[in-house]
Amino acid sequence: MTNTPESLDPLVIAEEWSSAGRNVALATVVDTWGSAPRPTGSHLVIDSEGNFHGSVSGGCVEGAVITEALDVIESGKARMLEFGVADETAWRVGLSCGGRIRVYVERLN
């Protein structure tokens, strides 16, 4: 695989991983309020081994989404996650100025 802009798209990676027989989940930012590092529509693809590509937030939020995605891959049940922080703790979890995000995580195969 070459590193063209298309090949770096998490949706393309998800398709490639799924076609290769890997169990895959897709996390998608569906709503943001206040400050959020990634806009609505951002994607993170995760496989059952914990490999991931893309981003939905960064910091501790991204780690929590990956953990939840592993559960979604195992159970097959999609989840809506919401993360929100006050301004004083925002930097610690990866939301730059306080804010909230909602992330939908679903198994693809």
Segments of 1-109 assigned E as strands? 24-34, 43-47, 52-54, 79-85, 99-107
Q: What is the mean pLDDT of residues 88-100?
A: 59
pLDDT tens digits for 1-17?
445 545 689 999 999 99
Q: Bigger pLDDT: 57 or 78?
A: 78
pLDDT score for 2: 47
pLDDT tens digits for 44-71?
999 999 999 999 987 778 999 999 999 9
Q: What is the mean pLDDT of residues 86-99?
A: 56
The tokens describing 87, both together, are 């301004």
Q: What is the mean pLDDT of residues 85-105?
A: 67
Report helix, strand or coil for 104.
strand
pLDDT score for 37: 80
Q: How far apart are CA 32 and CA 83, in angstroms?
A: 10
pLDDT tens digits for 23-33?
999 999 999 98
**Per-residue confidence at 83, pLDDT binned at 50, 70, 90?**
confident
